[in-house]
Amino acid sequence: MGQDGRVENVACVRGFGPYKPFCYPMVEDLILAMAGSGGDGVVSAGESLLSAVAADGYGAMLTKSFGSQIRGGESSCRLRVSTRPVLNPGGVVDVAVAFNWEHFLRFGPEIPMGSRTIVIYEEATGVAPDKIPLGGLRPAEVVAVPIDRMAAESSGKLHAKNTVVMGLLCGWFGLAEEGVLKGMRKKFGSKGAEILEANERAFSAGIGFARSTPLRENRRLKPVGQRSAKILVDGNDICAAGAIFAGCRFFGGYPITPSSEIMQFFNREVWKYGGSVLQAEDEIAGIGAVVGASFAGAKAMTATSGPGLSLKTEILGLATIAELPLVCVNVQRGGPSTGLPTKTEQSDLFAAAFSAHGDVARPILAPVGVEDMFGVTVEAFNIAEEYQTPVIVLSDQEISQRKEAIDPIDTGKFRVVERRRPKGEELGDYVRFRMTESGVSPISQPGMRGGEYLASGIEHDERGAPSVNGDIHATMNEKRFKKLEPLQAREDLFLRVGPADAPLGLIAWGSVAGVAWEAVERANAEGIAVKLLVPKLIYPIAVPIYEEFFRSTGRCIVVEQSHQGQLHKLLRMWAPVPDAFESMAKDGANPFSPEEIVSAIRARAQSGVGGRNGDS
């Protein structure tokens, strides 16, 4: 087993070129990164490789990153391939490919490199292998390759240089060569034989170079034992698919990075189910239309990012006081203001929980990965409909735009909840906001005989009549808060990893959860007793569940990607946290690695764990 916890085996084959045996390690986990200009086809190459390895049955995840320019600029991708399920993009990359150094270096810590990294770069950059601009880092091996020249000579076009790189990676690291060729034939087959043959020649040129130039530090991917069918999907598409499955038939919104693909998916698909899409003139109009659709009886949603969430808050308040169900997906990016529009962050939690005038409690859910995005979206609609409330889903740029190879989703395991509508005697004397034991009242819709009522943004009595009476306001506030109390007991909205009685605990949410999950598993394998709690229900704070988790812990670390450590502060407001309750927070575009969290766990375990104070 390697130092980073990844398993390696050793196999020997005949070398290419001079016929002599050479040995290489077979790895069960491989992380590749590529970066270049917007026209280099970096992301396209990553997606082709992802599709090929997924078809071979590997677990795989592709994350993408872009500059914030409208056109041009830099782009990168990281592909992690494993014989086991992939929980996160991983840490230090095994292989880094630089199409040009100027654009490569702009990604900084997004492409973490170390002494085990093999660096492959374009020879035409004119940089000597011992002079590469990596700030004194000494990689395992550095190889200059005439990528541009090989593309031009083999295909006649520089555009094929990403195809050459795919050949290099397949030849050196044992990726799915046949799968790449199959995908290439599918992609270019309709564009004519000449284009297809040119790309096949470029791919063969890359393969040939790799075979004639073995690497000293070659690491080939171990074949999977048993193939299983995988599907490739990103978080935005599967979010929209989950919404349609849950019965959403109206989307109102405004395009904003990195959420726009949700609206685009709806625009392609929801018509098949009798639904409709409104691309409004702005964020406010988008959610206003969603409130109207919900009032009319339809399941409805919108999607946005941080700046758009700020604009939507007043209408979210209208949905709260009118007790109308809707789902608002907020795909977080770096802020404030326009901030880092193409980079991930978890800094919208305060905005989601607190950006409302008056006393408001809005349920907030967060997925932990692409596959989980489907179920979280379905559950967001269930909660919205059951409790007649707006629900915010906090996705983030990484989850929304990364692609994962996942097992086909078994939709039979999901329930779909419908809003409680009045019937029988309830329509004889309909009281829309009737005080009930649960706090939830039957909700009618236009056209329902006897179900007419007034819905407005002003405080009201049980029948919806406007009121400024303080006692009525207190009663309706109590109703709106009381109906959400059952959420605090939803054990199914939390994930747990590690021994239940561990004295050291971790809490992580969203895209960081997968990194923390791997770190805890590795720490447990080292004999360190540590456990992890992953909340999918972020707010309101489920105090009983945190109380149970903290019962054995004298020290706990909250790992999240925000400058302030926002969940850490929320938990201190509500939950009886341990004495040693720490925040491990990082700003956006500075991703966590599993090894970074493992190191923090080791340090805390070695320093000992203190007691706990229920009042801290």
Q: Which secondary structure element, helix H or strand E, spans residue 62, and what is its range?
A: strand 59-66
Q: What is the three-class DSSP state of 321? A: helix
pLDDT tens-digit series, residues 184-229: 888 877 777 888 899 899 999 999 999 999 998 778 999 887 777 7
Q: pLDDT band at 74, cuts 50/70/90?
A: confident
Q: What is the three-class DSSP state of 87? A: coil
At position 424, the amino acid (one-letter code) is G
Strand 74-82 versus strand 59-66 pairing type: antiparallel
CATH 3.40.50.920 fits 488-607, yes or no: yes
Please check the confidence at residue 434 and state whether its pLDDT lies above 50. yes
Residues near 288 by beta carbon (within 8 Å), at least 6 away in sequence: 252, 280, 315
Please check the confidence at residue 181 and state whether its pLDDT lies above 80. yes
Q: What is the DSSP letter of 261?
A: H
pLDDT at 500: 96
Number of H helices, E strands in the chain: 18, 23
Please check the confidence at residue 615 and state whether its pLDDT lies above 60. no
Structure tokens, 475: 């009663």
232-413: CATH superfamily: Thiamin diphosphate (ThDP)-binding fold, Pyr/PP domains (3.40.50.970)
Angstrom distance (rounded) from CA 559 to CA 143: 37
pLDDT at 19: 33
pTM summary value: 0.91
Lookup result for tokens 């290419």: 16
For residues 590 and 109, is the Cβ–Cβ distance under 8 A? yes
Region 246-275: mean pLDDT is 97
Q: What is the three-class DSSP state of 190? A: helix
Residues near 200 by beta carbon (within 8 Å), at least 6 away in sequence: 181, 184
Structure tokens, 403: 């692609």
Structure tokens, 109: 């810590």
For residues 566 and 596, is the Cβ–Cβ distance under 8 A? no
Q: 8-221 with 232-413: one CATH topology? A: no
Angstrom distance (rounded) from CA 179 to CA 184: 8
Q: What is the three-class DSSP state of 189? A: helix
Domain residue spans in the chain?
8-221, 232-413, 488-607
pLDDT at 116: 93
Q: pLDDT band at 489, cuts 50/70/90?
A: very high
pLDDT tens-digit series, residues 79-116: 999 999 999 999 999 999 999 999 999 998 899 999 99
First to last CA, the chain: 41
pLDDT at 616: 34
**Residues paired with 236 in a beta bridge:** none
- Of all residues in the chain, the percent with pLDDT exceeding 90 is 82
pLDDT at 159: 83
| Topology classification of domain 8-221 | Pyruvate-ferredoxin Oxidoreductase; domain 3 (3.40.920)
pLDDT at 219: 86
- Closest residue by Cα to residue 590 from 568, 569, 559: 559
Average pLDDT, rounded, for the chain: 91
Neighbours of 296 (CB within 10 A): 12
For residues 83 and 30, is the Cβ–Cβ distance under 8 A? no
Between these two residues, 7 and 168, which has the higher pLDDT value? 168
